[in-house]
Structure 1
């Protein structure tokens, strides 16, 4: 379930005071729609510039993702926006980032954003995986594979983002900026391209065309076919769990995309 949303003005006074202690006086706040993983999502306009704010209640089950984002940020800038502060106050866990003035990536066929996102995938794969606490791909997908041994091929020491929702990719000045690193993972280098393939199919690509989009990424070129098929199976099972018995249109689209790719890989293997 998505985190319940809140506006900046709806925060308790102690949380607002803690934010302004970091940003200086806030002149204007622009509340923006939240994603699935954040309750607060807002742009704070100050005399010194614009700060992107995100937050969760400190007792929320995903509050740990706030610390994960804070821990990983020094290792992923400038691919990610720079973290300006991390504050915990009045029951809220709050992050402030430099604001990126750009647009959400367009994943549709023929989009000029596709090679830019491909470049970000290539850049991310070249970053060393930091020695911080991260989830492991083989652990995250263990419940969704047909055979426990299938997860062995998901293991690795590459830093992965794993959440390639186009709202997590901002395009500005012909560069992709990746946000929402709370689910960063350590795993095999081909897994991020594999995650992106499902989002590409959801945006209108055929499975073959989606794979062609990532074909020139070195990490994808080395992906074992049987391992990719196992990942496609696991991803379809994961999206079926997310969808539940009464999925909304967005979730159903993602589930259908995962199933299409699963079928495509089963025919290839």
Structure 2
């Protein structure tokens, strides 16, 4: 079951001066632009072929589409430019920024998104890439990245807001166990702390699988410094979104990326993620992103189902 991603504009919808600015960075006119699906942005996402035969991936947005998206693109450009060479990520070729339109020109990764439902071999490759990322020292250029526990502090308090104003049709199990869930989530902030580069938004549409089954992580605006196993846990959550019966527990026990995690720590972080997605999913959709709340609700439901299985004593 594929998600309904946000509708995007295309290369042809970009103003002429934006196209020209991008072509100057590419060093050649664009001969072909192929729109890509996935993600929650109203801007362009195009694989580009130039007249000279060069290839790139271009994403561009303006505040008219969504007022927050240009700042997100700027953050992604700064992070991507500073990622160490060994990180499995595209490289930044350049940026166009006229104060309104912001475009990122990135290396084009020849790959596709993971199969959905997930396949074990592809999941293993993603977790191997995340293990590699967790072992990569944070370079000075990324020393400014925020601690993950600070970035998610408000999100992990979602159970408090749900207790004050429960969403319509809220799972009765949540309402019965709100106090325990809130305590878990509050304690879970300490489990987020760490010294690793964390992508924080690992899901199928932010991953490309190469022909050699190597996983490449794309879309880096939310990078933080945090615990080395958090990205792996969110990858498993994405697996559960598309296949609730997938045996993620055996993966937790067997893959080295989860070696620093404890069973209690996993429960605490899952409760925090459940608070975030359940609370966010009942909010009005942001401009230009009509489908993001529905996907957040799906993520929240997947977290709660998983957490109920792990906390069967409640």
SS in structure 1 at match of 2:94: strand
2:73 counterpart of 1:75:
no
SS at match of 1:142: coil
Report the aligned-residue RMSD. Answer: 2.6
Q: Is the 1:136–1:185 Cα contact (8 Å) retained in structure 2?
A: yes
Contact 2:188 2:272 in 1 (8 A): no
| 1:261 corresponds to 2:306 | yes
Q: In the alignment, what sits opposite 2:269? A: 231
| Post-superposition offset of 1:218 | 3.2
| TM-score normalised by structure 2 residue count | 0.76
| Counterpart secondary structure, 2:45 | strand
Query: Which SS does the other structure have where 1:215 is aligned?
Result: helix
Match of 1:54 among 37, 59, 64: 59
2:107 corresponds in structure 1 to 98
Give, in whole Å, the separation in 1 of the partners of 2:220 and 2:29. Answer: 28
Go from structure 1 to structure 2 and tell me whether the alpha carbon gap of 1:203 and 1:149 turns closer, same or farther (over 3 Å shift): closer
Q: Residue 43 of structure 2 is aligned with which of 39, 42, 47? A: 39
- Say which is worse superposed, 241-250 or 42-51, in terms of deviation: 241-250
Partner of 2:240: 201
Q: Please, which runs of 5 or more residues in structure 2 have no aligned partner? A: 158-181, 285-290
Superposed counterparts of 1:1-269, under 5 Å: 5-23=8-26, 24-37=28-41, 39-46=43-50, 47-57=52-62, 60-73=67-80, 74-78=82-86, 79-89=88-98, 91-106=100-115, 108=117, 110-131=119-140, 132=142, 133-143=144-154, 144-145=156-157, 146-147=182-183, 148-172=186-210, 173-206=212-245, 209-244=247-282, 250-267=295-312
* CA distances 1:67-113 after superposition (whole Å, capped 9, x unpaired): 33222224244511111111202621111111112110125354431
Pick closer, same or farther for the CA change 1:96–1:245 going to 2, 3 Å: closer
- Structure 1 pair 121/216, CA: closer, same or farther in 2 (3 Å)? farther
- The Cα offsets for residues 174-215 of structure 1, whole Å up to 9 and x where unpaired, read as 2111100111111111211111121111121437x1132243
Is the Cα–Cα contact under 8 Å of residues 252 and 258 in structure 2 kept in the other structure?
Answer: yes
Please state whether the residue corresponding to 1:116 is helix, strand or coil. Answer: helix
Give the drift of 1:222: 1.9
Structure 1 unmatched runs, 5+? none
CA separation in 2, counterparts of 1:109 and 1:22? 37
> 2: distance between equivalents of 1:231 and 1:107?
25
TM-score where L is the length of structure 1: 0.88
Judge which range, 101-110 or 83-92, deviates more. Answer: 101-110
- For CA contacts below 8 A with separation 6 or more, give which structure has more relative contact order: 2
The worse-fitting range, judged by mean Cα deviation, of 142-151 and 78-87 is 142-151
User: How far apart are the structure 2 equivalents of 1:138 and 1:249?
Assistant: 25
